[in-house]
Copies of this chain bind each other. A is one copy, B any other.
Amino acid sequence: MKIDPQNPADLSAQIAQAIKAAIVSGELIVDARLPSEAELADQFQVSRPTVREALKRLAAQSLIRTQRGATGGAFVNRLNFEDAYSQQITTSTLLLSMNAVSFDTACEARYALERACAPLSAERRTPDHLATMRTEIFRQSQPGLTDEAFCASDVAFHRALVDGAGNPVLSYQLAGAVEAMQPLMNMITFSARSRESIIALHTRIADALDARAAGEVDAALVELETYTRQLARDVAERRRKQSG
């Protein structure tokens, strides 16, 4: 962890990389205390601000946490699922918005992954998961709901479905795919009729999960995907006509 070529540019990046490697390799274990900034500056033969920039890079990735005071310092952070979720969601969202990913591509990925969870969820969902889904369905049926709120509730519904699989790794992986779709979904205007159709499918899904009917969940998800993509095509069509 002491290697540092004498390329006097990007020193903080090199130091961050060295410490990161030590963490990933297990050389630095969870809750281990790093040397103080002054000591690190001495070890790496750089100034304290440079060390600090390196540490901030690591803090941005939730790899370390810092604490002030006598017994303070920088500690290797236990990466928890919650932090990983939010990182994944931002990354996925930006990835989609910055790379002109088509609605179809994102939608296909999302539903493919979600369908992968369906059989497990049908088997393991708890009453809690079902209750959450019913609540969201009820919320979606409220009149006067904005499109944004409808989409947010839609995300909550699908997250409950995914969480029902009882596999935190799956939930983590899916978080990005489901949440990153929201900005794209927000571009769709949901008419009263389209909301009705979606709610009907959501109800079918909830009922099927209730009955532990994996096949029926899958069928409903396929229909939902088809319908969602159709809605997006309609929006695009409408926009094309308006501008043309």
Which residues of A are interface residues toward B (Cβ below 8 A)?
A: 12-13, 16, 20, 23-24, 26, 30, 49, 52-54, 56-61, 63, 78-81, 84, 87-88, 90-99, 101, 105-106, 108-110, 112-113, 115-117, 120, 165, 167-170, 172-173, 176-177
Closest-by-CB residue of B relative to A101 is B169
Q: 7 shortest A-B CB distances, which residue pairs? A: A116-B116, A57-B60, A109-B169, A60-B60, A112-B116, A109-B170, A53-B56
Count of this chain's copies in the oligomeric assembly: 2
Which residues of chain B are within 8 angstroms of A23 by Cβ–Cβ distance?
94
Inter-chain contact B106/A169, CB cutoff 8 Å:
yes
Which residues of chain B are within 8 angstroms of A177 by Cβ–Cβ distance?
169, 173
Q: How far is the CA of A30 from the CA of B115 in the complex (A)?
A: 33
Dominant secondary structure of chain A at its interface with chain B: helix
Closest-by-CB residue of B relative to A20 is B90
Inter-chain contact B116/A115, CB cutoff 8 Å:
yes
Output the residue of A13, A30, A54, A112 with the most chain B CB within 10 A: A112
Which residues of chain B are within 8 angstroms of A105 by Cβ–Cβ distance?
167-169
| Min distance, Cβ A68 to any Cβ of chain B, angstroms | 8
| Min distance, Cβ A211 to any Cβ of chain B, angstroms | 21
Closest-by-CB residue of B relative to A58 is B60
